[in-house]
Amino acid sequence: MQGYNVLMIYNQDMDQLLMCKRAKDPYKGLSNLVGGKIEPGETGIAAAYRELFEETGISKEDITLHHIMDFKYYLQHCFVEVYAGKLKHDVKVAGEENELYWSDLDQDFFDMSLYAGEGNIGHMIEQVNMSKDLFF
């Protein structure tokens, strides 16, 4: 079963979330969270930090990631590990694969015409909101 990760990266004030505009399918043109594949033999957390650095330039020194939930898709033979973190300081983000931007949190992240993931982004944000005092 192939593993993937999704990374919820918040700014220091926890009022913006790092997003990307998908350049290719699936979800081409829609906003999404950054993330990627977990390689064979790689731990989930190692893959999360690797993908974060590759896609944004944010390093392990800039943020502490917390494993907050998983999704398992039996019919697609894959699983997704979800990590969230708050930046320790301002960081200039840069990525070559997808256009990166900071989104305010007052958006309708359940709107599937704008956001990838069939409403999962909205669900994940609500989960962080309910428990952010525990780990941020």
Cα–Cα distance, 2 to 95 (Å, whole number)? 24
Helix, strand, or coil here: 52?
A: helix
Looking at residue 34, its amino acid is V
CA 23, 97, 94, 36 dihedral sign is positive
Cα–Cα distance, 46 to 30 (Å, whole number)? 27
pLDDT digits 0-9 by tens, 106-128: 999 999 999 999 999 999 999 99
CB 1 within 8 A of CB 38: no
CB 32 within 8 A of CB 121: yes
Q: What is the DSSP string of 86-118?
A: EBSS------SSSEEEEEETTS-TT-TTTBSTT
pLDDT digits 0-9 by tens, 15-60: 999 999 999 998 999 999 999 999 999 999 999 999 999 999 999 9
The pTM is what? Answer: 0.94
Looking at residue 19, its amino acid is M
Q: Which domains are present in the chain? A: 2-135 (3.90.79.10)
